[in-house]
A and B are shown apart, each in its own frame.
Chain A
Amino acid sequence: MPTTIKVNGIERAVDVDGDTPLLWVLRDVLGLTGTKFGCGMALCGACTVHIDGVATRSCVTSVDGIGNSEITTIEAIGTTPVGAKIQKAWLDCEVPQCGYCQSGQIMSASALLASNPHPTDADIDDAMAGNICRCGTYLRIREAIKQAAQSNGKAG
């Protein structure tokens, strides 16, 4: 019995066990390889997607628990205003090195800015500490989030 999930605005039927992590459905079944595998235990954030706008680790999210929620992946985040701003800031600040973790970083950062347009350093730490970058691009990630936040206009 296939499960139906809504990914980037499109309903997709997938024939996998219900306890299959969303990550593998996205990557191996639907071919959306922008979402990355890093740890399988929600420890590194590489697999972060949005479920109804909330940053979620897809490696520990069973596909049968998603229901009618809207899943957004890195492939479509640029179609949201916040996602587009974050991507631009990432390029302006030259954030990526090897780039492997950056899908997850961008998904976490865009969820942060969508709910908190003017985050403090502490807010950024809270939202981003779950995303590991082995190339150590943290300083530029912080700078890029601040730049994107500035383009949100003045706080208040």
Chain B
Amino acid sequence: MILEHFAAQSACPESSPSANGLSRRRFLEAGAAAGGGLLLSVSLPFAAGGAEAADTFAPNAFIRIGGDGEIVLTIPSVEMGQGTYTTIPMLIAEELEVHLSQVRVEHAPANEKLYGNPLLGGIQATGNSNAVRGAWQPLRQAGATARTMLVLAAAKRWNCDPASCSAQSGEVFQAATGRRIKYGELAADASRLPVPEGVALKQPSDFKLIGTPAKRLDASSKVNGSAIYGIDVRLPGMKVATLAQSAVFGGRLKSVDDTAAKAVKGVRQIVRLEDAVAVVADHMGAAKKGLAALVIKWDDGPHAKLTTADVARELEQATLGSGAVAQNIGDANSAMVGATTQIEAIYQLPFLAHATMEPMNCTVHFRKDACEIWVGSQAMARVQAMAAKVAGLPPEKVIVHNHLIGGGFGRRLEADGVVRAIEIAKHVDGPVKVVWTREEDIQHDMYRPYWFDRLSVGLDAKGMPIAWNNRFAGSSVMARWGPPMFKSGLDPDTTEGAINLVYDLPNVHVEYVRVEPPGIPTGFWRSVGPSHNVFVTESFMDELAVAAKQDPIAYRLALLNKTPRAKTVLAVAAEKAGWGQPLPEHVGRGVALQFVFATYMAHVAEVEVAKDGAVRVRRVVCAVDCGTVVNPDTVQAQIQSGIIFGATAALYGEITLKNGRVEQTNFDSYQMLRMNEAPAIEVHIVQSSEPPGGMGETGTSAIVPAIANAIFAATGKRLRKMPVDAAALKPPT
């Protein structure tokens, strides 16, 4: 696949929509493309309502059928390994009756006005597992409409009944005469036709592409070294820089002795910033050597003594007060009074770094009148806006070239690395690529927040929950990242997975207390809100089953009569995992169930706890109902990926602060799950004709409680804090 990296200032495919081409539903326009051919402009709502309710038509995806027959799709989502650039073209190709290989994807230029994602506060970004969810209906409709217009154009040319013509493989075909004509030759004629209303979509039984495993379009460049990520950018005259930032957040640079650094061969320049210092060199080897040779003195600032325990204490205090009510059903307090048994628990989750394999980097060529940026970003318009601010230029003078992303997981929704690179580039004559060392990357991340949750549940005489209370405290990433999304003390991300539970609970009261920790920045992390809430609710649900002396699956099933899709995935996971069948000693099974990102998922994890307390995840069985499956291979791949990502967090993931500094530095102290530790994974897809749910994050949130619950089954020890503490699991000798 050719990935074209648009300049942010370049125009979208230019169009001249015909006046009569405006659809009444206002999510689709058709007209002549600037270079000839047919252009369809589509407004992707991403979620219910948004764009259709708008007064003005604001397209954010474009399909261009050129005179040469080439079909180009311009979309605002970015490819970061989740397969979007393969899955979304399938939607077009299916209805347009072309081969997938005929559709080329281009990434949309940075333009918040056009490409803003209503699910993310109008911000242009790829996250929250919503690319396919948003595109599902409108892109198929656009494909079907384009196909119909091409058929009409052919019928007009042949002067025959359109019903006698059909579309196949990029051509219009008339069976009776054997006549055929390629789309490219019809595109200009089609662009002069009115847009037909209400074109019917295919029935699922007629799908040729959707539901079949499609080969990833971006794979071949990733096996021969030719794929270009942000870090691979090379420009004439470019220098390479690396940096040290104040180890304590909020600290300041006091002094730098650069005598030895300047003597390093290849070092060109030392750049001093308020809270960082950079070494600019001919290559990264010289820059790193120069950095090591600097003698730096810091003023650590107000957070010099901060520890993780300080943060946890503050959050704990906050859960003793009251918060914003995220959900209230019935009267949990009254119900609690009448409960036979009351169960209370406190859960905690640590700060986590993203540790994308490609460390943070950004290349900048700063000039007085313009600023050019090369980076891999999940949020291009954010990059452009923040870059303009720090560069002191209007946004249209900031040109952003987006690149493949060596892992996003939420880290590349932030533009802090871009801001830093511009601050450095302002002092450098010519282009400079700023590359963070792994140590800088881990110690200056924007971390998954620390969470502190206080729960209490009342059970009736049969052990079933009649009152559910949950008050949790932590950072609202959304309040900083997308302020309009934070209202009345709440945002939709922070509470997802804590409210609207799949279980039929008569009395529920959930409160959230926003507490921003001092001295450590927070950010979105794969599976976002649910990465926290699903661990807590599904671990606690397991505790309730134990208190009720019931099997964890049977207990959950009894609460799922109003959510049949949840019930099905749970039953399928249990059956496929051999739930209830005997296991060897020190091995246990645990289950977790969730409905988040519009996808139902159940995991059964099988873990072995060694004599020294070391935990090995042996096997994971997943059952998923993600609505209509567009590309089953991508669904499988994303679930495998999410499970490894979540298992890594469960077993190893923890960022701690001591003296205001992040203690972890590299993959020795911030460990990743490796090949020899990877569990066997089975994914069972439950067939569904519902609209597609999100897939990029779901596997991650569900696996952590499944592992914790399996550890309980194996050892009888309940872990209410992640990551797994092997020492606590070691039996007393």
B-binding residues in A (CB < 8 A)? 16-17, 19-21, 23-25, 27-29, 31-41, 43-44, 46, 73-75, 77-78, 87, 90-91, 94-103, 106, 124-126, 128-142
Contact = CB atoms under 8 A, between A and B. Distances in A.
A28 B240 contact: yes
Interface residues of B, number: 66
B637 A140 contact: yes
A125 B675 contact: yes
A28 B645 contact: no
Contacts of A141: 675
A139 B674 CA distance: 11
B11 to A, nearest CB: 29
Nearest to A128: B675
Interface in B399-423: 404-409
Given A28-B283, A100-B406, A37 B222 contact: no
Contact of B285 (A24, A43, A87): A24
Given A36-B358, A98-B408, A20 B286 contact: yes
Given A28-B240, A98-B405, A140-B640, A132 B672 contact: yes
A136 B405 contact: no
Interface stretch (B51-59, B223-231, B534-542): B223-231
B357 A44 contact: yes
B225 A136 contact: no
A16 B637 contact: no
A40 B667 CA distance: 10
A65 to B, nearest CB: 14
Contacts of A78: 224
Given A17-B264, A98-B81, A136-B640, A40 B438 contact: yes
Contacts of B435: 37
Contacts of A33: 225, 228, 231-232, 234
Given A96-B216, A129-B674, A17 B357 contact: no
Contacts of A94: 215-216, 219, 633, 637
A97 B357 contact: no
Interface in B356-407: 356-359, 404-407
Contact of A102 (B223, B285, B405, B672): B223
Contacts of B215: 91, 94
A17 B675 contact: no
Contacts of B266: 16-17
A138 B678 contact: yes
Given A103-B225, A137-B640, A37 B284 contact: yes
Contacts of A46: 357
Contacts of B668: 41, 43
Dominant secondary structure of chain A at its interface with chain B: loop
A45 B437 CA distance: 15
B259 interface: no
Contacts of B438: 38-41, 44
Contact of A139 (B231, B358, B640): B640
Interface of B: 80-83, 215-216, 218-229, 231-232, 234, 240, 264-266, 282-286, 288-289, 355-359, 404-409, 435, 437-438, 633, 637, 640-645, 648, 666-668, 672-676, 678, 680-681
Given A17-B266, A74-B225, A28 B282 contact: yes
A134 B357 contact: yes
A19 B83 CA distance: 40
A87 to B, nearest CB: 5
A139 B285 CA distance: 34
A35 B667 contact: no
A34 B225 contact: yes
B278 to A, nearest CB: 16
Top-9 shortest CB links A-B: A34-B225, A136-B644, A100-B406, A99-B222, A98-B81, A97-B81, A24-B285, A28-B283, A74-B225
30 contacts: A17-B286, A25-B285, A28-B283, A29-B282, A33-B231, A36-B231, A36-B357, A38-B359, A40-B288, A40-B666, A90-B219, A90-B223, A91-B219, A91-B223, A96-B216, A98-B80, A98-B356, A98-B357, A98-B405, A99-B404, A102-B222, A103-B225, A128-B676, A129-B674, A130-B674, A134-B356, A137-B641, A138-B644, A138-B675, A140-B637
A38 B357 contact: yes
Contacts of A125: 675-676
A98 B406 contact: yes
Contacts of B288: 24, 40
A133 B357 contact: yes
Given A32-B225, A98-B81, 13 more contacts: A17-B286, A37-B359, A40-B438, A78-B224, A87-B223, A94-B633, A99-B219, A99-B227, A99-B404, A125-B675, A135-B645, A136-B643, A137-B637
A16 B451 CA distance: 48
A28 B285 contact: yes
Nearest to B405: A98
Contact of B219 (A25, A75, A96, A130): A96
Nearest to A145: B675
A100 B225 contact: no
A115 to B, nearest CB: 18
Nearest to B221: A99
Contacts of A32: 225
Contact of B437 (A40, A96, A142): A40
Contacts of B359: 37-38
B666 A43 contact: yes
B287 to A, nearest CB: 9
B678 A135 contact: no
A55 to B, nearest CB: 14
A135 B286 contact: no
Contacts of B408: 98
A12 B579 CA distance: 60
Given A36-B406, A87-B224, A136 B673 contact: yes
B135 to A, nearest CB: 20
B55 to A, nearest CB: 39
Contacts of B219: 90-91, 94-96, 99
Nearest to A132: B672
Given A29-B283, A39-B666, A91-B219, A97 B675 contact: no
